């Protein structure tokens, strides 16, 4: 029997792979009308079927969730924040302490405050083994002279403040510490030759307008407020010349030591005239001696907070003290607050808002590109601390 025609290569491939199985609308495999396009389509169909079979038989793949990248965002040190709030709370309620010292006058109170602050600071430095920090203060004559001048300024500031509280001008004392940042900025222009931004000029103008409004409305210059703001601003400027070579406790120790001879001389004069109230003893003497504690403790707390907190946080905490002093003056001492005073304080508060917002914007660095937000913020927090 004669053999049929030899199978072609395409026919053999279709018989082996089964790619030429009949399909709808198609002839049998190897029929004369079977084209290469049909064979290619069959191969594609076989590939899809194979993938479906493998997907049904292969074990399911485990879905792994992406591991979140922790970004270290800067946070406020809770210990530092607690120390700062504690310091400004004590400074804010300090007006409540001075009426307990009557019948002692303002000058006698300041003399005791200088002497007892020196003794308490020396004890605190000895307990913390910080007496060695005084060497940096006495090593340079220039530093020693600068701290002595700072001592005279802070003693004057204390005297004006105590006089204001005892004479019924606690509201003016609070106003003085409110406008102190504005006076500090103005001194930076006059003394240091710094250039101010528009917002800073606006804040200074609002503060000056507040003083004018209160002066015209009350028919007297709030000299307690002006004296407190100026003396404390100049005190800060003088302390800036010292820098960070001397700590807060060491600086206060040298400042009070420079004023102690004058304080002791005044107390000796009072004792000679039989006008020294300290000799009465009892609670009055203990309260006068406690001036060293109420002076040094807030300063030590503030020193610890300043080392842990960014400058922006410390700058916002500083308004806590005059706010509490204002509340004490109005709610406890019942000092009058006519409408013109409210208008003046409103201008001061507006100036402080402008100054604070401008300071926060100016102190915010541009965010670096190509780095996550958390890393950029953490780097800036490290610089601030």
pLDDT, tens digit, for every residue of 100-117?
Answer: 999 999 999 999 999 999
How many other C-beta atoms can be found within 10 angstroms of the C-beta atom of residue 31?
11
Domain ranges of the chain: 78-359
Pairwise CA distance, residues 22 & 39, whole Å: 12
What pLDDT score was predicted for residue 240? 80
What pLDDT score was predicted for residue 25? 45
Residue 44 CA neighbour count, 13 Å, CB half: 6
What pLDDT score was predicted for residue 373? 33
What pLDDT score was predicted for residue 63? 54
Contact 200, 185 (CB under 8 A): yes
What pLDDT score was predicted for residue 203? 92
pLDDT tens track, the chain, 385 positions: 444 445 444 444 444 444 444 444 444 444 444 444 444 445 444 555 555 555 555 555 565 565 554 454 456 678 888 999 999 999 999 999 999 999 999 999 999 999 999 999 899 888 888 788 788 777 788 888 999 999 999 999 999 999 999 999 999 999 999 999 999 889 888 888 888 889 999 999 999 999 999 999 988 999 999 999 999 999 988 888 776 677 777 888 999 999 999 999 999 999 999 999 998 888 999 999 999 999 989 988 887 887 788 877 887 888 999 999 999 999 999 999 999 999 999 999 999 999 888 888 876 544 443 333 333 333 333 333 3
What are the CA-CA distances from residue 358 to residues 63, 149, 203 (Å)?
Answer: 50, 32, 10
Contact 181, 352 (CB under 8 A): yes
| CA 277 from centre of chain | 42
Pairwise CA distance, residues 385 & 310, whole Å: 5
Backbone torsions φ then ψ of 25, nearest 5 degrees: 80, 5
**DSSP-assigned letters across all residues of 278-298:** GGG-HHHHHHHHTHHHHHHHH
Tens of pLDDT, residues 116-131: 999 998 998 888 887 8
Pick from 148, 155, 146: nearest CA to 295: 155
Q: Which residues contact 177 (CB under 8 A, 6 or more apart)?
A: 228, 229, 232, 321, 322, 325
Rounded (10°) CA dihedral 99, 102, 106, 111: -110
Tens of pLDDT, residues 140-171: 888 889 999 999 999 999 999 999 999 999 99
What pLDDT score was predicted for residue 104? 93
């Amino acid at each position: 029997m004669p053999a049929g025609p030899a199978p072609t290569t395409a026919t053999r491939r279709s018989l082996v792979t089964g790619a030429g199985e009949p399909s709808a609308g198609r002839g049998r495999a190897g029929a004369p009308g079977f084209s290469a396009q049909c064979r290619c389509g069959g191969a594609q169909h076989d590939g899809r079927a194979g993938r479906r079979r493998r997907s049904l038989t292969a074990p399911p793949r485990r879905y792994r969730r992406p591991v979140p990248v922790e970004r270290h965002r800067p946070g406020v040190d809770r210990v530092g924040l607690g120390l700062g709030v504690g310091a400004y709370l004590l400074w804010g309620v300090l007006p409540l302490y001075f009426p307990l010292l009557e019948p002692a006058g303002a000058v006698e109170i300041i003399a005791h405050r200088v002497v007892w602050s020196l003794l308490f600071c020396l004890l605190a430095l000895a307990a913390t083994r910080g007496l060695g920090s005084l060497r940096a203060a006495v090593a340079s004559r220039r530093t020693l002279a600068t701290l002595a001048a700072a001592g005279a300024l802070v003693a004057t500031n204390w005297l004006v403040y105590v006089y204001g509280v005892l004479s019924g001008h606690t509201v003016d004392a609070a106003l003085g510490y409110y406008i102190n940042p504005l006076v500090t900025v103005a001194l930076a222009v006059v003394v240091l030759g710094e250039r101010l931004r528009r917002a800073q000029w606006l804040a200074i103008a609002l503060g000056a307008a507040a003083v004018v409004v209160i002066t015209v409305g009350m028919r007297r210059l709030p000299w307690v407020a002006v004296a407190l703001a100026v003396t404390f601003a100049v005190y800060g400027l003088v302390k800036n010349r010292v820098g960070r070579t001397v700590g807060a406790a060491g600086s206060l120790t040298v400042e009070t030591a420079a004023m102690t001879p004058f304080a002791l001389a005044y107390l000796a004069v009072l004792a000679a005239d039989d006008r020294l109230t300290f000799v009465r003893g009892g609670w009055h003497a203990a309260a006068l001696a406690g001036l060293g504690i109420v002076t040094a403790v807030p300063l030590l707390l503030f020193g610890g907070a300043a080392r842990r907190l960014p400058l922006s946080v410390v700058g916002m905490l500083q308004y806590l003290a005059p706010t509490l002093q204002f509340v004490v003056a109005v709610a406890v001492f019942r000092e009058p607050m006519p409408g013109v005073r409210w208008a003046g304080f409103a201008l001061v508060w507006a100036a402080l808002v402008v100054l604070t917002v401008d300071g926060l914007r100016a102190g915010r660095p541009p965010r670096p590109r190509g780095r996550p937000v958390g890393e950029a913020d953490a780097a800036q927090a490290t610089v601030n601390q």
